[in-house]
Chains A and B, each alone.
Chain A
Amino acid sequence: MEDLELMRHITIGQYLPTGSAVHRLDPRTKLIGIGLLILSIITISSVGGLMALLVVIIGLVLLARVPLGFALGGLRPALPVLIIIAILQLLFGWGASADLVCPDLWSFWIFKITGCSILTVIAMLLRLVALILLTGMLTMTSTISELTHGIEKLLRPLQKIGFPSHELAMVFTIALRFVPTLAEELEKLLKAQVARGADIRLGANPIQRIRHFLPVLIPLFLTTLRRGELLIEAMEARGYTGSVGRSHYVQLQMTAKDGLALLLVFGLVVGLIFIPFIVLDAKFLLLLAQLTGQ
């Protein structure tokens, strides 16, 4: 039954009100800052650079006064998969590097472990941890409603050309808001079916699994649609008309601190991308080569 505790593993939207400096920033600042950091995760390819980036991100997490163990909680369910990816990537040596000389460490039949495949695996794991920390940070330091206000404000200029930015923000809010609710609903339906002898574990006979899963899925869709009808009625009864003539209870205000934070993040990202951390990777490979006597 432990597999069915779905609620525990969903880390979207766990707001942690610690009242830190990061929490008090404008959501737009946080969205742009995190966007820049995600861009740097994708751009930086050297292990040295990614390590420096991870240090920066951990610094931000600590600045936000979010316990590190809590921020990394989302990693635990992914752990078995991570280990398998790491082993596969190690064995098949994906991602040879063009700029670096890779010392061969071990080879057997079609499997080959080189210095570069170790670096690739480490880089991938660093990227994953960095991404999970960043996305976690965004939702732990800002409530969903703050984020949606932020998105709406950021997209507002597009409204002039007829883009429904307010409505789009509302769609995202509703989707995120109902994730925990629907997870709970799903858990209830699953438990009811498992109690009746259904076997929906991943890895069970797929055809059996689908057959057992149908009596969960169909009620999930139907109760969700019914919930939708109620929500539509509630929103219409309260006179929801979208963005037209709508004033905001929350007025976002960019302050000097926001400017400073954005400048800082921008500087860090540019620094991380342009400092040649790849030299560290080359040093590591050289060391490995010396150790293995090549």
Chain B
Amino acid sequence: MKLSVRQIVISGLLGAISIVLGVTRLGFIGPFPGVLAVSATILHIPAILGGILEGPVVGLLVGLIFGISSWLQAPSEAPPANLWFSNPFVAILPRLFVGVAAAYIYMLLRKSNEWLALVSASVVGTLTNTVLVVGALILFGYVPAAVIIPAVLPNAIAEVVVSVVIVLAVVAAWKGLSIGKNKGSTV
């Protein structure tokens, strides 16, 4: 296996965005009222974008960087995240699949409809993150399913909405697709 310069550079830069948003805590959109302190995040969005723009390998690499930084950051997170994410099987492993899933969904649907492909890729990518992380938590017996699933639901919905908006806006601007009333913008 050999990586191209493009794959190396884009993976590194998108990974850097994930690290910066995590370290500055700007990437956490905060728990919604009445929810356990499991913070909704946008840190997985670089992995989705990597998968969509450059394919599954870049998606995997960005996910890897996201996972490692989330694992290393875990000790300074608020509880219960600090206890859960200190486990690399919760912090790193699920994140490897985020960009890969998004990439394959996008490749599958792109031929029929670009917009549908983008929306589905960001929804599937986000849910991959949520479902696999929550699944790992339940599997390790950290928290009973009956507690975590209703607690995580509002955050999952918020994450899906935010990631669809960001992915659409970024990909449309980057690829020069026409979007919205003004038929997109050029950057």
A: residues with CB less than 8 A from B are 6, 9-10, 12, 42, 78, 81-82, 84-85, 88-89, 94, 127-128, 131-132, 135, 162-164, 167-168, 170-179, 181-183, 186, 190, 200, 202-203, 206, 209-210, 213-214, 217-218, 220-222, 224-228, 231-232, 235-236, 240, 242
Contacts and interface: CB of A to CB of B under 8 A. Distances in A.
A132 B11 CA distance: 26
**Lowest 7 A-B CB distances belong to which pairs?**
A174-B12, A175-B15, A178-B16, A167-B3, A78-B76, A175-B12, A221-B170
Interface in B22-78: 23-26, 28-30, 32, 40, 42, 46, 49, 53, 61, 65, 72, 75-78
A105 B20 CA distance: 42
A179 B29 CA distance: 20
Interface stretch (B103-111, B114-122, B126-134, B158-166): B158-166
Contacts, number: 154
Contacts of A88: 79
Interface in B164-187: 165-166, 169-170, 173-174, 187
A173 B122 CA distance: 27
A214 B29 CA distance: 12
Given A171-B65, A186-B26, A235-B5, A178 B13 contact: yes
B10 A228 contact: yes
A174 to B, nearest CB: 3
Contact of A171 (B8, B29, B165): B8
B29 A176 contact: no
B19 interface: yes
Interface residues of B, number: 52
B9 interface: yes
A14 B27 CA distance: 23
Contacts of A232: 5-6, 9-10
A227 B82 CA distance: 34
A89 B26 contact: no
Contact of A240 (B5, B24, B40, B86): B5
A217 B8 contact: no
Given A88-B79, A174-B8, A175-B16, A164 B1 contact: yes
A89 B187 CA distance: 49
A131 B75 contact: yes
Contacts of B40: 206
B65 A224 contact: no
A127 B29 CA distance: 27
A222 B173 contact: yes
Contacts of B100: none
A240 B9 CA distance: 12
A207 B10 CA distance: 30
Contacts of A224: 13-14, 16-17
30 contacts: A6-B24, A9-B23, A78-B76, A81-B76, A81-B77, A82-B76, A88-B79, A164-B3, A168-B3, A168-B61, A170-B12, A171-B65, A172-B65, A174-B11, A174-B12, A179-B19, A182-B13, A183-B24, A202-B28, A206-B29, A206-B30, A206-B158, A218-B166, A224-B17, A225-B10, A225-B13, A231-B13, A232-B5, A232-B9, A242-B3
Contacts of B17: 182, 220-221, 224
Nearest to B11: A171
Grouping DSSP codes into helix (H, G, I), strand (E, B) and loop, the B interface class, with mixed when no group exceeds half, is helix
Nearest to B53: A225
Contacts of B16: 174-179, 181-182, 224
Given A206-B30, A224-B13, A10 B23 contact: yes
A210 B162 contact: yes
A162 B1 contact: yes
A163 B32 contact: no
B20 A174 contact: no
Nearest to B66: A175
A12 B3 contact: no
A175 B5 CA distance: 14
A135 B74 CA distance: 13
B47 to A, nearest CB: 12
Contact of A227 (B13, B61, B166): B13
B9 A174 contact: yes
Given A81-B77, A182-B17, 14 more contacts: A81-B78, A171-B11, A175-B19, A175-B65, A178-B12, A179-B19, A183-B20, A203-B30, A206-B30, A218-B166, A218-B170, A222-B173, A228-B13, A242-B2
B154 to A, nearest CB: 10
